[in-house]
């Protein structure tokens, strides 16, 4: 049977992608950020999964205001890096896992989560920046990826509780797939940041630190944070953090914190990163 071997959370700032693509990783501004992922890349060499189920949000790239799915699962055999207005990132095409994605769709929808099925989609920095941070710059990505897009652009996004419960349904779906596969679930986006209006630049380290602590030890407490509190305390774009709860729901039960990293700033954003393994 397929099994979930780890959960990873990671911010997905576009400027990080640009720094990688333009070879700026050693510059004084960026070096401390990338140093936080040195351990992760080494860890990944011995823990490469067969499939990453990658929770992220589309940033007005593949979904405009014409169609705004709350939860969208990518079931295609491949996904091209998107041209977001300044040319596509020079990263490998993302190969999907259509059989597993179809199984997850069927299972999760029958557990009462009404997913939107996407058979053609380009993927933006929300998905490719975490891949670059964890895998570096390979000629092809070392595993298959199921993109899972969550609406956090138009209010209201799904609640933290709903995301957490979806993660649990996802766990049951993956556990019931009859194939010998290691699957990691990644929750991306966040941490605190606000990109718009006179309050742009907001960072709330206290909120972020509590979130990092609780997502490891007491995720149920995080499911009680209302949307308005994210908006107010973590910034209008900090509400992306609900996506981390899908990852945590999929791990269920106690976890072991393998790695933690927190860094301010990457452009306008507080970067947070965790590697979690299920406690045996």
Partner 1 sequence: MNLKKQPPKPYAGIPGTTVFDAEQSRKGYHLNMFCMSLMKAPNRERFKADERAYLNEWPMSEEQKQAVIERDYNRMIGLGGNIYFLAKIFATDGRSFQYAAALMTGMSQEDYARMMLSGGRAYEPASPQPTEPKEGV
Give the footprint of partner 1 on this chain (CB under 8 A).
14-15, 59-61, 64-66, 83-86, 153-156, 192, 194-207, 226-228, 231-233, 236-237, 264-265, 267-268, 270
Distances 189 to 5, 13, 66, 120 between C-alpha atoms, Å: 21, 8, 23, 22
Is residue 98 packed enough to be buried (19+ CB in 10 Å), middle (13-18) or exposed (0-12)?
middle
Query: Smallest distance from the beta carbon of 210 to partner 1, in angstroms?
Result: 12
Nearest residue (CB) to partner 1, 93 versus 195:
195
Nearest residue (CB) to partner 1, 25 versus 153:
153
Tell me the two tokens of residue 112. 């009462």
Query: Smallest distance from the beta carbon of 71 to partner 1, in angstroms?
Result: 18
Tell me the two tokens of residue 156. 């209201």
Sign of CA dihedral 133, 136, 140, 141: negative
Sign of CA dihedral 205, 223, 147, 234: negative
Query: Smallest distance from the beta carbon of 191 to partner 1, in angstroms?
Result: 11
Does the active-site annotation cover 12?
no
Contact yes or no for 9/247 (Cβ under 8 A): yes
Contact yes or no for 13/269 (Cβ under 8 A): yes
CA atoms within 13 A on the CB side of 15: 11
Query: Smallest distance from the beta carbon of 23 to partner 1, in angstroms?
Result: 17
Indicate the length of the chain as a whole number. Answer: 280
Q: Is the peptide bond before 156 cis (omega within 30 degrees of 0)?
A: yes
Nearest residue (CB) to partner 1, 206 versus 256:
206
- Choosing from 59, 103, 193, 263, the catalytic residue is 193
Does the active-site annotation cover 125?
yes
How far is it, in rounded angstroms, from Cα 178 to Cα 162?
Answer: 27
- Choosing from 125, 259, 263, 273, the catalytic residue is 125
Query: Smallest distance from the beta carbon of 170 to partner 1, in angstroms?
Result: 26
Nearest residue (CB) to partner 1, 103 versus 125:
125
Nearest residue (CB) to partner 1, 117 versus 264:
264
Phi, psi angles (nearest 5°) of residue 101: -60, -40
Region label for 49, one of left (φ > 0), alpha (ψ between -120 and 50) or beta (otherwise): beta
Query: Smallest distance from the beta carbon of 158 to partner 1, in angstroms?
Result: 15
Nearest residue (CB) to partner 1, 138 versus 226:
226
Residues labelled catalytic: 125, 193
């Amino acid at each position: 049977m397929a099994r979930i071997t780890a959960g990873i959370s990671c911010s997905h700032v576009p400027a990080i992608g640009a720094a990688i693509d333009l070879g700026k990783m050693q510059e004084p501004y960026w070096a401390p950020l990338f140093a936080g992922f040195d351990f992760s890349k080494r860890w990944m060499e011995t823990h490469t999964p067969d499939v990453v189920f990658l929770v992220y949000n589309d940033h007005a790239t593949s979904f405009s205001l014409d169609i705004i799915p709350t939860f969208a699962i990518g079931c295609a055999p491949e996904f091209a890096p998107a041209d977001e207005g300044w040319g596509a990132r020079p990263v490998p095409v993302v190969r999907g896992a259509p059989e597993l994605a179809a199984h997850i769709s069927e299972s999760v929808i029958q557990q009462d989560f009404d997913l939107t099925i996407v058979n053609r989609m380009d993927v933006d920095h929300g998905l490719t920046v975490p891949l670059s941070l964890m895998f570096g710059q390979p000629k092809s990505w070392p595993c298959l990826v199921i993109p899972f897009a969550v609406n956090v652009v138009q209010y209201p996004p799904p609640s933290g509780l709903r995301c957490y419960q979806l993660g649990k349904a996802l766990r049951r779906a993956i556990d019931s797939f009859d194939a010998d596969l290691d699957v990691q679930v990644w929750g991306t986006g966040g941490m605190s940041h606000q990109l718009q209006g006179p309050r742009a630049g907001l960072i709330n380290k206290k909120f972020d630190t509590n979130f990092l602590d609780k997502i490891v030890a007491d995720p149920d407490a995080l499911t009680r944070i209302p949307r308005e509190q994210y908006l107010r305390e973590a910034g209008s774009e900090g509400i992306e953090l609900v996506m981390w709860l899908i990852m945590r729901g999929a791990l269920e039960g106690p976890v072991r914190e393998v790695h933690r990293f927190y860094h301010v700033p990457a452009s306008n954003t507080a970067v947070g990163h965790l590697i979690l393994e299920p406690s045996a």
